[in-house]
Amino acid sequence: MTGFGSGHQSRDGRDIVLELKSVNHRYLDLNFRLPKPLIFAEDPLRQWIRESAVKRGHLEVTIVYRNARADARIITLDRELLELTARETREAAGALNMSSPTLYELIKLSDALTVTQADEDADEVLALLQETFREALAALQIMREREGKALQADLTANLQAVKFAAEQIAAIAPAVPQEYRERLQTRLNEWNADIADPVRIAQEVALLADKCAIDEELSRLQSHFLQFEACFAQDGETGRRMDFLLQEMNREINTIGSKASHAEITRCVVDMKSVLEKLREQVQNVE
């Protein structure tokens, strides 16, 4: 399910901006974009996400971090290198009758001064980061819940379309053997088979009726419909259950299609499979 949320917290010279961006994915797939000083925060972030309501989707976590504290950097001066550079440049300046370089020029020339990032206080940073994460997660969930309501409406509408097609099939199915009997009798009349054995005709019709019987498949479909609709009212993870139910619906519809010997039933099966594919795509967004 798609969504976006951001959080921003500042304390004691530390400033953190955290963004959560989710797009549809069948499983929970995490991608982190962390500044180098906060690499240690990836494992805690993974744990916080797993403990949250986000169970599916490709989730991208982006952090922008700034530490303006006085102890955030370590300055190191290589005095030996600086003295050596100064001695050599003074000798060269005297030989060339030029002025000696300034201290700034010596430092820049020798690279004797280095500034490195100090190690972060992990406990302080993680405490601030967790507050920022919770703020971003709350905003993300608001957007995902809004989309979830729209998604439920679409799922319900598509499920109703499948149910309507199943009802059409259920209404047509009882007439299939009688239509077969009529077609068989018409064909026999065309062949001038006036003395066809009525018992034999009845046997043929009974065999076809048994072969194309779809009562069990329709009954199981109705059960799957009820279970699918019940998922809307359940808390927790329902996406995988809905995905499984759609697989079972597809199985029953395929069986009905293979047994069908009626053009209208075949049309309904094609319509059901088309809508079912839409449902399967939509369910990938449900947690």
Residue pLDDT, tens place only, 162-185: 999 999 988 887 776 666 555 656
* pLDDT class of 264 with cuts at 50, 70, 90: confident
User: What strand order describes the sheet that includes 14-23?
Assistant: 3-11, 14-23, 57-67, 28-33
Question: What is residue 101's three-state secondary structure?
Answer: coil
Do 108 and 138 fall within a single domain? no
Q: Give the integer Cα–Cα distance in Å for 287 and 52.
A: 12
Q: Are residues 192 and 250 in the same domain?
A: yes
Q: 7 and 138 in one domain?
A: yes
Question: Which CATH number goes with the domain that contains 228?
Answer: 1.20.140
161 and 252 belong to one structural domain: yes
pLDDT confidence of 207, banded at 50, 70, 90? low
Question: pLDDT at residue 131 above 90?
Answer: yes
Q: Which of 10-24, 66-80, 82-96, 208-222 has the lowest mean pLDDT?
A: 208-222
Residue 156: both structure tokens together: 């319900």
- In this structure, the answer to whether residues 132 and 182 fall within a common structural domain is no
Average pLDDT over residues 83-100: 86
Q: Could you give the number of structural domains in the chain?
A: 3
Q: Which strand (E) or helix (H) includes residue 218?
A: helix 215-230
* Predicted pLDDT of residue 258: 81
Q: State residue 43's pLDDT score.
A: 95
Query: Are residues 65 and 76 located together in one domain of the fold?
Result: no
Better-scored residue on pLDDT, 204 or 260: 260
Instruction: Please report, for the domain that includes residue 36, its CATH number.
Output: 3.30.230
Same domain, 245 and 255: yes
Q: pLDDT-based confidence at 45, cuts 50/70/90?
A: very high
Do 49 and 86 share a structural domain?
A: no
Whether residues 87 and 154 fall in one domain: no
Is the per-residue pLDDT at 151 higher than 70?
yes
Same structural domain for residues 99 and 212?
A: no
- Indicate whether 94 and 23 sit together in one domain: no
Euclidean distance between CA atoms 20 and 141, whole angstroms: 10
What confidence category does residue 205 fall into, taking pLDDT thresholds of 50, 70 and 90? low
pLDDT given at position 194: 56
pLDDT at residue number 222: 92
Are residues 87 and 157 both part of a single domain? Answer: no
What's the pLDDT score for residue 157?
Answer: 93
Domain with 154 in it = 148-283
The per-residue pLDDT for 178 is: 64
